[in-house]
Amino acid sequence: MDNLQELLHGFTIAVTVPHLVLMVVGVLLGILVGVLPGLGAPNGVSLLLPLTFGMQPVSAIILLSSMYWGALFGGSVTSILFNIPGEPSSVATTFDGYPMARDGRPTTALATAFGSAAFGALVGVILITFLASWVAQAALAFGPAEYFAVYFLAFASFVGMGGAAPIKTVVALALGFAIAAIGIDTVSGSVRLTMGVDELVKGVSFVVAVMGLFGIGELLVAVEEEFHARAVSSKIDWREVFRAVGRLPRHGVALLRSAAIGCWMGITPGGPTAASFMSYGIARRFSRRGRHFGTGEVEGIVSPETADHAAGTSALLPMLSLGIPGSATAAVMMGGLMIWGLNPGPMLFVDQKDFVWGLIASMYVGNIVAVALVLLTVPVFAALMRIPFVVIAPLIVIICVVGAYSVSNSYLDVVMMLGFGVVGYLFKKLFYPLAPLVLAIVIGDKAEDAFRQSMLISKGSLGIFFANKLVTCLIVGGIALLLLPLLLQLPRLWRKPASPATDAPVQERAII
């Protein structure tokens, strides 16, 4: 129980008045940048970074990581209220969060999201506390082939477990891969698919794509379907915040499963985005109310939020112990570590005990501070839903335009964002799923790099994907998920007259 002792020592560092003040300031700033689209955690943290140069490293990391927690919570707010995810990892939260808020239950949706996010983060921190050294070793086993296998598994889980027709999922994935390929290719160093537009060399930013696909796309659908101005008459009830949080234990299985998926994907290189998508897909398949997913199910909010925060938290571990940043924000913090004179790597845990354990202790305290603060702000945010549609619609357009522009001060991004809006509208009208498209835009190029790096290592042999137990398991799991829709079709073909709606779930479980 050495770790426990270290942790207690860490608490003596983290729980001091100046550090608690830093946490509150960090969390509040974080919520602010999280709610303002186009800013996001990585930008917020890098804006704050220069202020920390004169601080003690522990104080500096506490400020920055608190801001990160705040931004993660804040990012869910816009996903739920306006269908505009601020971070790739909160995309999955929109699927059920937004319908629930639109149904007049924004308070429930927000409180559920915050409650389960806090649970996920807590599990992540506990994992870091007790398994730090083991986890660091496990992450080293991941070479390019294993990276690819993890990404493959994430994509396959969508085809196998997503709600849409598998072939439509594949089409959406393929489009996402094409968009992810735009820009400079890591492996060959050449410029691809820029179609003569010099600026496209930087690639397509995720924020631009998502603001258009979700924000503008949803708006176009809404304008067409319900032209009449509509405001949600939501009662703002304080007690509802606590009632929603109190109801969470009923979804204990979903919470634990999602936290496990989140931790696993956070440590392995999958990251929070893949974790939240996978968790949502699996919850939809296993939940008794799976068919209602997408219409405002509580579990549809619980699963992605828990997994997202569990992954986001546990992703800090590879950063500290190996020097691999698990997310863009972690990369900024790592830059900070170097400037403060600390070197992320295996020795950090030995040389800088005060720093490491101070940080870990601050994760416990910081998350509690963050969840308390966001729960307090729920009624304020929920009140935003009362604004009538005629007012909120132009606001959403402004937010999306400003957000897209502020990514890299580029007019082209605004045009692309509007273009993505049309794509989002068409996808909705034709019942193509948006989630696989977004997933492929976010991790498509990473998957491609990993595949080609593996091919360079193996000199072109696919045998590398079956070279050891770890990679074989991942690949076989992925293939099984890919084939799942086909397997499910077989019994239905045999017993055609039987009602597939009632039989299907039973058979699916048997096969999984």
Partner 1 sequence: MGRTSTFLLSAAAAVLAGTMPALAAWQPQKPIEFVATAGPGGGTDNLARAVQNIITKHKLIEQPIVVVNKGGGSGAEGYVYGKASAGDPYKVIFGTSNAWQQPLVSKVAFNYTDLTPIAAMAQDEFLLWVKQDSPYKTAGDYLKAAASGEFKMGGAQSKDTDEVLTRMIEKVGKVKLTYIPFKSGAETAVQLAGGHLDSHVNNPSESLGQWRGGTQRPLCVFSPKRLPQGPKVTATEGWGDVPTCVEQGLDIKQYEQPRTVWLPGKVTPEQAAFYVDLMKKVQATPEWKDYIEKTSQVDTFLTGAELEKFIKQDLEHIKQVAGEQGWLVK
Pairing of strands 183-184, 191-192: antiparallel
* Shortest reach from residue 29's CB to partner 1, in Å: 17
Q: Where are the alpha helices (DSSP H) in 141-289?
A: 144-161, 166-180, 206-210, 217-225, 238-247, 252-267, 271-286
Print burial letters for 394-433: b (CB count within 10 Å at least 16), e (below 16): eebeebbbebbbbbeebebbbebbbebbebbbebbeeebb
Q: Indicate the residue among 178 and 347 with the shorter CB distance to partner 1.
A: 347
Helix (H) or strand (E) segment spanning residue 379: helix 353-383
Toward partner 1, which CB reaches closer, 131 or 339?
339
Minimum distance of partner 1 from residue 71's CB (angstroms) = 14
Q: Give 409 or 502: the residue with its C-beta nearer to partner 1.
A: 409
Closer CB to partner 1, 107 or 329, in the complex: 329
Binding region for partner 1 (CB under 8 A): 42, 45-46, 49-50, 53, 139-144, 183-191, 198-199, 201-203, 322-325, 328, 331-336, 338-339, 341, 343-348, 351, 408-409, 449, 453, 456-457, 459
Task: Give the closest residue to 504 by CA, choosing from 487, 492, 486.
Answer: 492
**Choice between 201 and 462, CB closer to partner 1:** 201
- Cα separation values, 491 from 268, 484, 498, 512, Å: 36, 12, 10, 15
**What's the DSSP call for residue 215?**
I
Pick 172 or 179: Cβ nearer partner 1: 179
Of 128 and 136, CB closest to partner 1: 136
Please give the Cα distance from 268 to 45 (Å, whole number): 24
Of 348 and 363, CB closest to partner 1: 348
With contact defined as beta carbons under 8 Å apart, do 251 and 302 qualify? Answer: yes
Least Å from the CB of residue 338 to partner 1: 6
Is the CB of residue 34 less than 8 Å from the CB of residue 70?
Answer: yes
Q: Give the nearer residue to partner 1 in terms of CB position, either 50 or 252.
A: 50
Phi, psi of 471 (to 5 degrees): -70, -35
CB of residue 340 to partner 1, shortest distance in Å: 9
Minimum gap (Å) between residue 476 Cβ and partner 1: 21
> CB of residue 269 vs partner 1: minimum separation in angstroms?
10
How many whole angstroms separate alpha carbon 164 and alpha carbon 14? 47
**Alpha-carbon span 280 to 362, nearest angstrom:** 29
Q: Least separation, in Å, of the C-beta of 133 and partner 1?
A: 12
Residue with smaller CB distance to partner 1, 457 or 480: 457
DSSP state of 84: -
CB atoms within 10 A of CB 198: 9
One-letter amino acid of 442: V
Alpha helices (H) along 384-499: 389-408, 411-429, 434-457, 469-494
- Closest contact distance (angstroms) between CB of 469 and partner 1 is 15
**Least Å from the CB of residue 341 to partner 1:** 5
Side chain identity at residue 149, one-letter code: A
CB of 384 to partner 1, least distance (A): 30
